[in-house]
A and B are shown apart, each in its own frame.
Chain A
Amino acid sequence: MFKYFEPNKIFSITSKAPKYVLFLFIVILSIGLTEALILSPEDYKQSHSVRIMYVHVPAAWISLGIFSAITFLSIVGYIFKIRNFFLIAKSLAPSGLVFNIIALVTGSIWGKPTWGTWWAWDARITSMLILALFYIMYLVAWRIFEDNDKVFKVTSIITILGIINVPIIKYSVDWWNTLHQPASINIFSKSSIHISMLFPLMTMTAAFALFSLLIFLMKYNTELIKIKNKGLDRL
């Protein structure tokens, strides 16, 4: 099954896909921005500041999702010795870090009018900051270590340690008394968010997911060409 993940087989797809993904991203983002900034209603308590949710929440979701995917790929790649999984994981990391930073910064901007402060060492915010540090450690490890076996091992350890933080982020608002509000959207139970706000939130999430796919494809193609450059040196 894993032979289908060989770079030679998938490059023909990954090299052509970015332009279509970029087009789709622009369309969905335009719809999402129109809904988020113009069409969606203001909140009865937070007024217009609630609109920050439409960038803050999708960014946080995607950064968590990407880190989970990186961990899964690193563990499976390490166990089954699939180099390409490490390459996919490495290509996902830059967008994961950027989404994490967006979640932190927009959360801070949202905090000022809502809580009266830009920053608080609250469990949710602190655990998100720790996730950003794990992303940085992961990316730095790829830069520091030249030897493939060593970098695979080190990055796998970083992701395994980092993934412990993911459920802490998710449940921090339930486990501790935090400034951050509890989750408004639940997959398994009724969400407390109205459809007029849920729709723009989902549209923006789709746009952000497309952007991370676009960056992943571009980064993955770059990494493949980098490998091929090394191959040409050996000829």
Chain B
Amino acid sequence: MIENLFFMNGYGLYVWSAFSFTLVSFLTLFLVIKIQYKKEKNKFIAKFGSLNSERAAFAKSQSINKEILSNTSNI
């Protein structure tokens, strides 16, 4: 059964390369977008940290800024 799963009557190379290409594309896209997200988030946190207390209080009054700072999700 395992042999049949790999070789698939001689079509295994085609089938596995199609599925592998798809999964590698998924993984690459996911990692690229994740890196972009982390980069922007770190930039935001650094910029927020450099604000003086008055400006930081004003920026924090916006709900979306609070959400970005509080969101600890790794994705």
Contacts and interface: CB of A to CB of B under 8 A. Distances in A.
B43 to A, nearest CB: 6
A76 to B, nearest CB: 23
Interface in A30-59: 33, 36-38, 42, 47-49, 51-52, 55-56, 59
A3 interface: no
A228 B21 CA distance: 36
Contacts of B17: 109
Contacts, number: 123
Contact of B73 (A16, A49, A55, A232): A16
Given A18-B75, A215-B30, A106 B11 contact: no
B14 A109 contact: yes
Contacts of B73: 15-16, 18-19
A73 B40 CA distance: 25
A interface secondary structure, majority: helix
A234 B8 CA distance: 61
A226 B41 CA distance: 8
Contacts of A37: 5, 15, 19
A102 B21 contact: yes
Contacts of A221: 37
A95 B29 contact: yes
**Max chain A CB contacts within 10 Å: which of B15, B55, B58, B68?**
B15
Contacts of B48: 232
Which of A18, A19, A38 has the most chain B CB atoms closer than 10 A to its own CB? A18
B33 A222 contact: yes
Contacts of B63: 8, 12
Contacts of A66: none
Given A8-B64, A16-B73, A225 B37 contact: yes
Given A48-B9, A55-B18, A101-B25, A218 B58 contact: no
21 contacts: A11-B67, A15-B71, A37-B15, A47-B9, A47-B11, A48-B11, A51-B15, A51-B19, A52-B15, A98-B25, A106-B21, A215-B33, A218-B33, A219-B37, A222-B36, A225-B37, A225-B40, A228-B44, A228-B64, A235-B55, A235-B59
Closest 7 CB pairs of A and B: A48-B8, A18-B75, A48-B11, A106-B18, A49-B11, A225-B40, A52-B18
